[in-house]
Amino acid sequence: MKTFLKNKIKGLCGRTAKLGLTMAVAGLASAMTANVAQAEGLNDPTLAPYYETFKGKKIGYVPFSMSFDLAKGWLAGMQKQADELGYEIITRDPNWNTDVGSQAMSQLINEKPDVIVYMNPDLQSYAKILRKAQKAGIHLVAVNLKSVFPTHYIGEDWQQNGVEEAEYIVSKCGAGTGRSGKVSIMQGILTSAASAYQLYGVMSVLEKHPEMTVVSNQSANWDASKAHEITQTVLQQNPDLCGVIGFWDGMDIGAGAAVKEANLAEPVYVVTSGGGAKEAACDKLLDGTYSAYINYDVRRMAADINSTIKILLQSELPADMKPFLLPTPSKMLTKDNLTESSCWTMADFK
């Protein structure tokens, strides 16, 4: 028994000595590493594979048109990141033509980009093409306008946009204001998500206010000249019109101009929304074209697009993964709450 205990104790002592030696060596190694880090710094081993991920990748970009501020701002933000990370952006400009846009999307599928960032002209037109692109393994990111075929989405919450615009007009024209309560609604393309969802939001508010009367609810098809013509007619028929609810600044500039030209005794409140470009938003609030403006800031949207591209290119997830939404936070602007940073110019992306 004594011999057994002596051997046991001897073994324990040996293992303890070995453990102590191991710990001492580890401590020495740690100290040496710390000294090296302090003297020379450490190379982050995750950065090289991160940058390598993006080399040779291709991003397709198909907006409505490259002629307006939203499309230009998004591309400027995207191009800046592409230049930094070394991937290519392939831009196709349909110039407001849905058929040309469909052809551009089909051609891009053949070029096999890793991601396509695009705008849906309406809820239905691109649905079959999007399904084909997804089957080809291409990730799809819709910006500001959805399709009946669900893909990843970055952009405005149009229903909430409609709610906020209607609430603004009610505050200016509804009960207790002494005004007529008459309002004109200026829609874009009726089958567009921006019109369909926004109108639902508008009407969900107005139906709670019986003192409000919709005297006109028409589509100007995103066309400023048509919005001008419609508003002129509405004002002639309703000189006591109190408000105009518009669905996009690029169109509603025509409505605002018609209101200013009418030179009415009482103000007609024009509310619209857009991406916050200085000339289209802040300048038009200051000169009285618009009374209020819901800004879904292009700078924020471009940052979300870029983050989404980086995640998708690194993830190796399938193109038919569950789609996600990134609604863009928006802010209602008036001339009274404008700051130097409220709106953007192209210089912000340089």
Report the CATH number that the domain containing residue 196 is assigned in CATH.
3.40.50.2300
Contacts of 251 (CB under 8 A, 6+ apart): 186, 188, 220, 221, 222, 223, 224, 226, 227
Does some domain include residue 40? Answer: no
pLDDT given at position 11 = 52
Query: What is d(CA 93, CA 65) in angstroms, rounded to the nearest whole number?
Result: 5
Cα angle 56-57-58, degrees, rounded to a multiple of 5: 120
Q: Which pLDDT band, with edges at 50, 70 and 90, does 24 fall under? A: very low
Bridge-partner residues for 217, per DSSP? Answer: 185
Task: Please check whether residues 291 and 162 belong to one and the same domain.
Answer: yes
**Same domain (yes/no): 171, 281:** yes
3-state secondary structure of 227: helix
pLDDT tops 90 at residue 115? yes
Q: Residues 278, 315: one domain?
A: no
Same domain, 227 and 260: yes
279 and 168 both lie in a single domain:
yes
Is 337 among the domain residues? no
Query: Does 117 fall in a domain?
Result: yes
Instruction: Assess whether 209 and 276 both reside in one domain.
Output: yes
**Phi-psi map region of 7: left, alpha, beta (phi>0 left; psi -120 to 50 alpha):** alpha
- Res 38 pLDDT > 90: no
| 216: Cβ contacts below 8 Å, ≥ 6 apart | 184, 185, 230, 234, 238
Phi, psi (degrees; rounded to nearest 5) at 326 = -125, 80
Q: Positive or negative CA dihedral for 59, 63, 67, 69?
A: negative
Tell me, yes or no, whether 34 lies in a domain: no
Residue 116 belongs to some domain of the structure:
yes
Within 8 A by CB and 6+ apart from 223, the residues are 251, 254
Query: Domain boundary at 274, 295, 316, which?
Result: 295
- Residue 107 and residue 84 in contact, taking contact as beta carbons nearer than 8 Å: no
pLDDT for res 9: 41
- Per-residue pLDDT of 240-299, as tens digits, reads 999 999 999 999 999 999 999 999 989 999 999 999 999 999 999 999 999 999 999 999
Is 284 a member of any domain? yes
Confidence of residue 45 (pLDDT cuts 50, 70, 90): very high
Asked whether residue 125 falls in the same domain as residue 144, the answer is yes
Taking only the tens place, the pLDDT of each residue in 195-241 is 999 999 999 999 999 999 999 999 999 999 999 999 999 999 999 99
Task: Say which residue, 112 or 20, is predicted with more confidence.
Answer: 112
Do 80 and 202 share a domain, yes or no?
no
Same domain, 177 and 268: yes
Q: Is the pLDDT of residue 163 over 50?
A: yes
Does residue 39 carry a pLDDT above 90? no
pTM of the model: 0.87
Torsion of CA 193, 195, 201, 202, to 10 degrees: 180
d(CA 56, CA 97): 30
The CA distances from residue 23 to 14, 18, 26, 30, 31, in Å, are: 14, 9, 5, 10, 12
Cβ-contact 107, 133 below 8 angstroms: no
Q: Does 63 map to a domain?
A: yes
The predicted-structure confidence for 82-109, as pLDDT tens digits, reads as follows 999 999 999 999 999 999 999 999 999 9
Q: Quick one: pLDDT at residue 75?
A: 98
Residues 119 and 336: their CA atoms lie apart, in Å, by 33
Domain identity same for 217 and 279: yes
Mean pLDDT across 16-28:
50
**DSSP letter assigned to residue 54:** H
Q: Give residue 35's pLDDT band: very low, low, confident or very high (50, 70, 90).
A: low
What is the domain range of residue 132? 49-156+298-328
d(Cα 123, Cα 153) in Å, to the nearest integer? 13
Mean pLDDT of the chain: 92
- Judgement on whether residues 182 and 268 belong to the same structural domain of the protein: yes
Bridge partners for 247 per DSSP = none
Flag whether pLDDT at 113 surpasses 80: yes
User: How many independent structural domains does the chain possess?
Assistant: 2
257: in domain: yes
Cβ pair 246, 162 in contact under 8 A: no
pLDDT interval class at 15 (50, 70, 90): low
From residue 174, give the alpha-carbon distance in Å to each of 160, 170, 171.
20, 5, 6
Do 98 and 80 fall into the same domain?
yes
